[in-house]
Chains A and B, each alone.
Chain A
Amino acid sequence: MKHTISITVENRFGVLSRVVGLFSGRGFNIDSLSVGETIDPEISRITIVTRGDDRIIEQVTKQLHKLVDVIKVIDLTDLNFVDRELILIKVSAAEKAKAEILRINEIFRGKIVDVSPASYTFEVTGDEEKIEAFLKLVKPFGVKDVSRTGKVAISREM
């Protein structure tokens, strides 16, 4: 089962490699990873999506807790949370397909961030389903390149 784990860490060099090394050293796979500062510049948040049965996830979270630079670990999966991903996607835009591509983008409320004679680059944010749906719809037009941020997540206030 997929788990979204939110890890609050000290914003120091080497911390990310400790977190990631803990996964690789124990043979746990990471599906996606994102990291950035929080409102406090001394603290960063890492969001990791990983897979495993309950026993493995329990071990992962306990091991993460043990790292000295890790302040807090929350497995968001069973909690109420929102998550988003951002994707930049460059789509071929043949003359007769342009209107259709732009219409799809509008439906997904994406932004056009770059235009060239033969392509559009869109910025789309959303949860995983939305991103996947967008990708599926523009794929037939020819996708030249894709860059995804990986998931960021935050718990909801009750």
Chain B
Amino acid sequence: MQMTGDQILVQSLKDEGVDIMFGYPGGVLLGLYDALFNSGIKHVLPKHEQAAAHAADGYARSTGKVGVVLATSGPGATNLITGVATAFMDSVPLVVLTGQVSTHMIGGDAFQEADIIGITRPITKHSYLVTKTEDIARIVQEAFHIAGTGRPGPVLIDLPKDVLTGKAKYNRPKSVNIRGYKPKVEGHSGQIKRVLTEIKKAKKAVIYAGGGVILSGASAELLKFAEYNQIPVTNTLLGLGGFPADHPLFLGMLGMHGAYVANMTIHESDLILAIGARFDDRVTGNVAKFAPNARVVHIDIDPSAISKNIVVHVPVVGDVKGVLTELNRLQKKEEPVWGEIRQSWLDHVRRWSEERPFSYDKDTKQIKPQYVIERLSELAPKDAIITTEVGQNQMWTAQFYNFTKPRTLLSSGGLGTMGYGFPAAMGAQFANPDKLVVDIAGDGSIQMNIQELATIAQYNLPVKILILNNCFLGMVRQWQELFYGARYSSTCLASNPDFVRIAEAYGVKGIKVEDKKDVDAGLIEMINHDGPVLLEVMVDREEGVYPMVPAGAASSDMIFGPNKKDTKKLKVVK
């Protein structure tokens, strides 16, 4: 039976198990939207394509499935770019569908034409320009396979109008076979044994676990591995939730705004077990001074991540879950070797942890943002999904929220995308209708995609937005304070709107908290409200994120924040 390309595409998506997609229609997609109309696939209409991409990303990160986003040719497609780049940097599986002008018009500067394959080449795992209707089914199948396997990432399919309107038989291959794409899943057994030798030799071992642990679903294996060997664990930002924050072996996040104990442990260690992490510059600080005495074991599915930034002594290329399972299996045969040496290292580490835990001044009249997050962490259910924007709100969340389960923190790590958290929360909420989903936002970031209030109102999506309002682009302000003589060039947000009234204008419940004693009540009201809520909390403008490793410094070289007791209050310049 002959079908149109539009129908083939919809059928292909159904065969991939797609139940929801995020998209925005346009001229070249009219037929496709018509085919979607009664297809059974839920189509969500955000108010900006960028938000559609972040929503698909939030859906993917919170479920582990491939997210699907759709946009029309030209500006629709280009509006996706920030979302695609965000997903690419954090290895999020997405299938990105873009409309394209008809094949005979491509390259002719047609109305709403953009070379989206060319534009997105550096920020996609792979991409396809479909030139024949009969190729659609195969390409969709391949795209889902590529997006979701190996090191996941976004795959783009560009769909010209005439290919969508053309007719062909629905012909989905039985299996995917791509000559040049065979990710190596199983770790080399010899290398795995070398890891165990390294552990036996080490006196001061530490596990540095990243987002790969969550992507491969290896949290349970990691816990077993760490407990068996009694090795302390630090997480990257994207790794948070991959190891329970309330576990005695947990050190907290490491890196630029990481815990003192985490950074000191890494710095002093003689063995780093890097698992599904990539030695990002926000983690290592100055690479020349990073962990000077450590041997490095690196387990990662992406061979190019190995020895990219840091020299690795024992590489294991493979899926983290499989490799950890194998390590645990091999270890079971032998008695644990940790004894006094391991115990004295753990005692040493514990001292750092007690010396300088994450902290803030608890005796002020103003509301400290850290306090709000701590309270949210205590009041919210353990399986609540937290998304963040980017900046101080993100770092305080990483420091003060206790993530105990994987896929409960969704945050833009690699690209650092302001405006990510709110639409990602929408995607996560669609995927997890019964869970509490909270976007922890700053007053700057929320305004990057604030139009999505219309979307959560339209779908009565119970997303909660918690704005920590300090009337500044707080992280940039902090850097200006520390490194640019407190010249606050273009970081003051005195022109902030009345967020509560904005929320209400969109039909979303708005709450404002200005007094410390009302924080709990505000949070509880937000959590318990049966529908979308925007909660604005007026926090201390001058609060900074500490500790902090200045750019170019060694990661052990942390600053702990100025003593602000006697300094003048920040002025908001109108």
Q: Which residues of A contact B146 (CB under 8 A)?
A: 68
Q: Which chain B residue lies CB-closest to A67? A: B180
**In the assembly, what is the distance between CA of A70 and CA of B180, in Å?**
5
Are B125 and A65 interface neighbours, CB within 8 A? no
Q: How large, as a class, is the contact surface on chain A?
A: 20 to 34
Known: A21-B122, A25-B122, A68-B126. A63 touches B307 (CB 8 A): no
Interface string of A89-106 (1 = CB under 8 A from B): 000000000000000000
Check: B117 CB closer than 8 A to any chain A CB: yes
A71 to chain B, nearest CB (A): 5
Q: Which chain A residue lies CB-closest to B181? A: A68
Are B304 and A10 interface neighbours, CB within 8 A? no
Check: B573 CB closer than 8 A to any chain A CB: no
Within 8 A of A (CB), among B93-147: 117-118, 121-122, 125-127, 129, 146
Check: A18 CB closer than 8 A to any chain B CB: yes
Are B118 and A69 interface neighbours, CB within 8 A? no
Interface string of B398-415 (1 = CB under 8 A from A): 000000000000000000
**In the assembly, what is the distance between CA of A34 and CA of B306, in Å?**
29
Check: B162 CB closer than 8 A to any chain A CB: no
**In the assembly, what is the distance between CA of A153 and CA of B273, in Å?**
40
Q: Which residues of A contact B303 (CB under 8 A)?
A: 62, 65-66
Known: A17-B118, A68-B178, A69-B180. A63 touches B304 (CB 8 A): yes
B383 to chain A, nearest CB (A): 35
Known: A14-B117, A58-B307, A59-B304. A9 touches B180 (CB 8 A): yes
A56 to chain B, nearest CB (A): 11
B326 to chain A, nearest CB (A): 23
Interface string of A1-40 (1 = CB under 8 A from B): 0000000011001100110010001000000000000000
Q: Which residues of B contact A67 (CB under 8 A)?
A: 126, 180
Are B121 and A18 interface neighbours, CB within 8 A? yes
Q: Which chain B residue lies CB-closest to A63? A: B304
Q: Which residues of B contact A55 (CB under 8 A)?
A: 307
**In the assembly, what is the distance between CA of A70 and CA of B126, in Å?**
11
**In the assembly, what is the distance between CA of A100 and CA of B306, in Å?**
57
**In the assembly, what is the distance between CA of A69 and CA of B180, in Å?**
5
A101 to chain B, nearest CB (A): 44
Q: Which chain A residue lies CB-closest to B302? A: A66
Check: B308 CB closer than 8 A to any chain A CB: yes
**In the assembly, what is the distance between CA of A69 and CA of B121, in Å?**
13
B550 to chain A, nearest CB (A): 25
Within 8 A of B (CB), among A38-83: 55, 58-59, 62-63, 65-71
Q: Which residues of A contact B307 (CB under 8 A)?
A: 55, 58
**In the assembly, what is the distance between CA of A18 and CA of B125, in Å?**
11
Q: Which residues of B contact A25 (CB under 8 A)?
A: 122
Q: Which residues of A contact B129 (CB under 8 A)?
A: 13-14
Check: B179 CB closer than 8 A to any chain A CB: yes
Q: Contacting A68 at CB < 8 Å: which of B118, B125, B308? A: B125
Are B179 and A71 interface neighbours, CB within 8 A? yes
**In the assembly, what is the distance between CA of A18 and CA of B156, in Å?**
14
Q: Which residues of A contact B306 (CB under 8 A)?
A: 62
B116 to chain A, nearest CB (A): 12
A27 to chain B, nearest CB (A): 12
Known: A67-B180, A69-B180. A62 touches B304 (CB 8 A): yes
Q: Which chain B residue lies CB-closest to A25? A: B122
Q: Which residues of B contact A69 (CB under 8 A)?
A: 126, 180
Are B121 and A71 interface neighbours, CB within 8 A? no
**In the assembly, what is the distance between CA of A144 and CA of B17, in Å?**
63
Q: Which residues of A contact B179 (CB under 8 A)?
A: 10, 71
Q: Which chain A residue lies CB-closest to B311? A: A55
A11 to chain B, nearest CB (A): 12
B524 to chain A, nearest CB (A): 48
Interface string of B291-318 (1 = CB under 8 A from A): 0000000000011101110000000000
A18 to chain B, nearest CB (A): 6
A65 to chain B, nearest CB (A): 7
**In the assembly, what is the distance between CA of A59 and CA of B308, in Å?**
7
Q: Which chain A residue lies CB-closest to B150? A: A66
Interface string of B425-455 (1 = CB under 8 A from A): 0000000000000000000000000000000
**In the assembly, what is the distance between CA of A21 and CA of B127, in Å?**
14
**In the assembly, what is the distance between CA of A70 and CA of B181, in Å?**
8
A21 to chain B, nearest CB (A): 5
Q: Which chain A residue lies CB-closest to B306? A: A62
Q: Which chain A residue lies CB-closest to B179? A: A71
Interface string of B164-180 (1 = CB under 8 A from A): 00000000000000111
B128 to chain A, nearest CB (A): 9
**In the assembly, what is the distance between CA of A118 and CA of B122, in Å?**
49
Q: Which residues of B contact A71 (CB under 8 A)?
A: 179-180
Q: Which residues of A contact B117 (CB under 8 A)?
A: 14
B159 to chain A, nearest CB (A): 15
**In the assembly, what is the distance between CA of A62 and CA of B122, in Å?**
15
**In the assembly, what is the distance between CA of A65 and CA of B180, in Å?**
8
A138 to chain B, nearest CB (A): 40
Q: Which chain A residue lies CB-closest to B155? A: A68
**In the assembly, what is the distance between CA of A66 and CA of B118, in Å?**
18
**In the assembly, what is the distance between CA of A115 and CA of B203, in Å?**
78
B150 to chain A, nearest CB (A): 9
Chain B contact residues, CB within 8 Å of chain A: 117-118, 121-122, 125-127, 129, 146, 178-181, 302-304, 306-308
Enumerate 22 A-B pairs (CB-CB under 8 Å) in ascending A order: A10-B179, A13-B129, A14-B127, A14-B129, A17-B121, A21-B121, A21-B122, A58-B307, A59-B304, A59-B308, A62-B303, A63-B304, A66-B302, A66-B304, A67-B126, A68-B125, A68-B126, A68-B146, A68-B178, A68-B180, A68-B181, A71-B180
Contacts A13-B129, A69-B180 known; 7 new A-B pairs at CB < 8 A: A14-B129, A21-B122, A55-B307, A66-B303, A68-B125, A68-B126, A68-B146
Closest 9 CB pairs of A and B: A62-B304, A68-B126, A71-B180, A68-B181, A25-B122, A70-B180, A62-B303, A71-B179, A21-B121
